[in-house]
Amino acid sequence: MKPRRFIRRFIFLIFGLALFLFVLVQAWFYVQVWQLRTHNPQTTAFMRERLELIRAVNPKAKLDYHWVDYAAIASIAKRAVVASEDDRFMDHHGFDWTGIQDAFEKNLAEGEFAAGGSTISQQLARNLFLSPNKNLWRKGEEAIITVMLETTLGKRRILELYLNVVEWGNLLYGIDAASRYYFHKSAAALTPHEAAFLAAMLPNPRFYQDNPGSRGLQKRIRAVEGRMNYSRIPPQ
């Protein structure tokens, strides 16, 4: 009996320790999310990982990233990004269950992971804190952080953060940096076509940076232009 009792206690101890560490990690993430209410991120997990990779080849590489306030971004650009990445952004609470179902059916039909169905909130969660690697742990953590973002920050701040930290090319982050790189103007001055171009790049920005005339990108631009005037976004 004693060996069995010892084994049970040992298992309970390991389980308790694992649970404590899990709660500790979530508390750390929540503190970071809470700070985002009033503090803008200096970098993100995605930025740091990409920069480290590039610096292994080019030690002098730098991020092209700077922050602009929500009001300093053209409304049409916000609408274009929502149309491209998350049409139901204003209607869901972090998870677009219709989009997830559509993505699952598409992946099942194609026999591979072809579509993700991630919302802007989910994308922001992993960009800020997680790794690009796809695994069950990351998806679970992404879901928890997504709930934290939605309940703590609200839609306006989530979209402001997303527009400022999402990737638009190699070491190119944020809509104002992207606008100046591609069109030599601020994000406040973007035209509808320019906004649609930037929004259409988001699923594969590094590829489209090198292939701006690709058929796939042109098709996506037309699709975004057809929907973006109907997108709902948080007010200024």
CATH number at residue 59: 1.10.3810.10
In the predicted structure, residue 133 carries a pLDDT above the cut 70: yes
E strand or H helix that includes residue 202: none
For residues 71 and 160, membership in a common domain is answered with: yes
For residues 105 and 143, membership in a common domain is answered with: yes
Q: Are 181 and 206 in contact (CB under 8 A)?
A: no
Within-domain flag for 235: no
How many C-beta atoms surround the C-beta of residue 158 within 10 A? Answer: 23
For residues 221 and 183, membership in a common domain is answered with: yes
For residues 72 and 2, membership in a common domain is answered with: no
Q: What digits encode the pLDDT tens for the residues 58-96? A: 999 999 999 999 999 999 999 999 999 999 999 999 898
For residues 52 and 19, membership in a common domain is answered with: no
Question: Under DSSP, is residue 167 helix (H, G, I), strand (E, B) or coil?
Answer: strand
Q: Quick one: pLDDT band at residue 113, thresholds 50, 70, 90?
A: very low
For residues 20 and 66, membership in a common domain is answered with: no
For residues 20 and 41, membership in a common domain is answered with: no
Q: Are 231 and 79 in contact (CB under 8 A)?
A: yes
For residues 133 and 23, membership in a common domain is answered with: no
How many folded domains does the chain comprise?
Answer: 2
In the predicted structure, residue 112 carries a pLDDT above the cut 50: no
Within-domain flag for 45: yes
* Segments in the chain forming alpha helices (H): 2-35, 45-55, 75-85, 97-110, 120-129, 136-152, 155-165, 175-183, 192-201, 205-210, 215-227
Range of 11's domain?
1-28
For residues 6 and 47, membership in a common domain is answered with: no
